[in-house]
Every structure is written in structure tokens, then in C-alpha cells.
Amino acid sequence: MIKQKELGTYSGEILTETELSNDSSLRVTALNLGCRINGIYLTNEKGEEENLVLAYEDPADYLTDGNALGAVVGRVAGRIPDAEAEVEGKKYSLTKNHGDHHLHGGEKGFANVFWDVAIHDDEKKPAVVFSYTAEDGEEGYPGRLEVTVTYTLDQDTLTIDYKASSDKATLVSLTNHSYFNLSGDLQSSILNQTLKGPAEGVLELDAELIPTGEVLPASDIFPMKDGEAINTIKKNDHPQLLLTGRGLDHFFVWAKTKEDIVFAGDTGIKMTVQTTEPGAVIYTAAQMGDDLKLKNGPSFPFAGLCIETQRLPAGFSSQGKTSELKAGETYQASTSFHFAPRLK
């Protein structure tokens, strides 16, 4: 089942919310601004809904959001050093929006623009398709890029499918930037929640959080292969963690296996992630302040965990698929999130 409603008009654009639901215990809501997921509601053992993602209380706050809450970010997720991209031997100057660097697609990127919306109101597998065309030269990138992002709800699984094509060679690496918290209480931190996944390497960062080109053993920074509490990172004196306030903001490269990523709450709620992508930036929001007015109260450090599945930065082709896209080729990526409620 699909429901839609208008949340207000901002700068001449109507902000809409699309709700996906079926006969499962899961309900998902998303905005046409940046394809932002502003609600993943799971029904608990008492029949009450618990929101598992951070969201603003006032929808207007999304228009000035610098944290990409729930948004699709791109053309390229992550940081591009010196805001300079090289595509097929030609250099392009990108928007500088992170000091001298380029972050998450630029000033607006994909997170801060309004997308077109189409719905597929299927009783069992409702879906919403967001579409956007980034013109040649937008934020400095070459190529007219046509993008669709599809959210499909199938029982207790939300799947995000990304598709893009360009008339010129360009760079593309899309991800969703939702902040998950599986405590059932968004005023509790994620520190006692655990993360397990096939992490083999992690891209080393310099003092400005730019990949140096080196790949470090993931187990030295956060040994998630056996499942580890997020709190472990606060006890680790690794120099990479001291750069980020004893939190994670690092690209983890998956081993070439079919293992799932499992994020588990300290109350028994579990999220299993499957992806076509070679890795993910794991971000624990260690330096989040207390100034965000969220639905369940003010923000705070370690309030949520982002699992930003994506392509590797250009230049890391030996590790897997990168952000480079040739003219006429189709970029496709898919990530699914399966949610299991706590046991009764």
C-alpha cells in the first residue's frame, strides 16, 4: 500500500512524503527532497511502532541539513581531494564544499534537490521511483546524468536500487545516508549495538580524512568479522580513530565473499544488509552535536550508524568496482535492508 501527503511548499517546490507498507511489521516513509528516508518503522512485541532512523521533527530542517539525514548522496559519495576529478585523462574542477575538497556531490549534490516521483502501488511489493537529471557541468562533473532510485518494500525488507547513465564519461557512486539506531529508543546511543560484516581492508585516511592510497587491515581498526560492539572503537588508540574523535568515518572494503552485514541492537532488533557494492563507509557520528531537533529529542554523539554501501574511489580498481562510468554504459547498484523485530 502507498500513501502520499504534502508537507509544505519551500522555495516554490512542494515537499512530499511517500509511505510504503504491506502486511509485514515494517513501514517506510521517504521524501522527494534528496530521496530522504525519514522513517523506518518496525512494530515491536507490544504492537507499538519504533522508528529505526534519525529524522527531523520539522520537515523544513531538511532544507538546511548538513548531515545528509536519510538522503541519497552523489554524484559521488565521499570526499574527492582538492575538488578535482580526472576522467579519461581530463581534469575537472568540482565544487569545493568541504574546505578545499569536494564532499557528497557538492553544495546541493543529489541530497538537496527535489526529485520526480512515480509510484507502483503493489499490495505486497509497493515501490516508489525517484528520478533526477543532473545536467552536464552540474557541480563540475562532466556528462548529463539520468538517475533513478527505487525503494521497494517486500515483507520486512527494504531494497534500494540505483540506476544511472551518462552521455559522457563521468564518475558515479551513489549511496543512502540513513542513520540507523536499533535500540527502539532514539535517545539511546549505538555504542552497545554490534556490527558484523566481511570487512577485509580499510582505506587509510590522512589528517583531512582523504584516502592516502593505502589499504590497512580492517581488523586493526574495527574487527567486525565476528561481530563487535561499536563501543570497541572508543577503547582503540589506533591513529586512524584519533582522527575521527574515536569514531568511524572510514571506507571498509569487503572480502570477496557472499557474507551479509549484520547490525544488531542491544534489545534484539536486527538489520541484515546485502549489497552488490565492494564496500561501505561506516560512519558512527562520533562528532555529532546536540543542536539537531530530531523527532525523538535532540541529537548527540553516536546517535546513529550509517552503512554507506558504494563504489570505491577512482584509483582503487584493484580492490573492486570504482566510481568511473563510461559514456553509454549503465551504472547499477542494489542494497537491501532486512529487519527482524526483537523476540517476544
Q: For the segment 268-301, what is each residue's pLDDT rounded down to a tens digit? A: 899 999 999 999 999 999 999 999 999 989 999 9
**Per-residue confidence at 343, pLDDT binned at 50, 70, 90?**
low
**Could you say which DSSP state residue 75 is in?**
S
Give residue-wise pLDDT tens across range 71-126. 999 999 999 999 999 999 999 999 999 999 999 999 999 999 999 999 999 889 99
CA gap 237, 239 in Å, rounded: 6
3-state secondary structure 265-314: CCCCCEEEEEECCCEEEEECCCCCCCCCEECCEECCCCCCEEEEEECECC
Contact 193, 264 (CB under 8 A): yes
Catalytic residues: 177, 308
Q: Which residue has the cell 586512524?
A: 240
- Is residue 169 within 8 A of residue 36, CB to CB? The reply is no
pLDDT at site 17: 98
For residue 7, the tally of other CB atoms under 10 A from its CB is: 17
Pick the closest to residue 72 from 162, 168, 169 (CA basis). 162
pTM: predicted TM-score of the whole model, two decimal places = 0.96
pLDDT tens, residue by residue, 221-265? 999 998 999 999 999 999 999 999 999 999 999 998 878 999 999
Among 289, 342, 341, 334, smallest CA distance to 310 is for 334
pLDDT surpasses 70 at 344 = no
**Residue 306 has which C-alpha cell?**
550509517
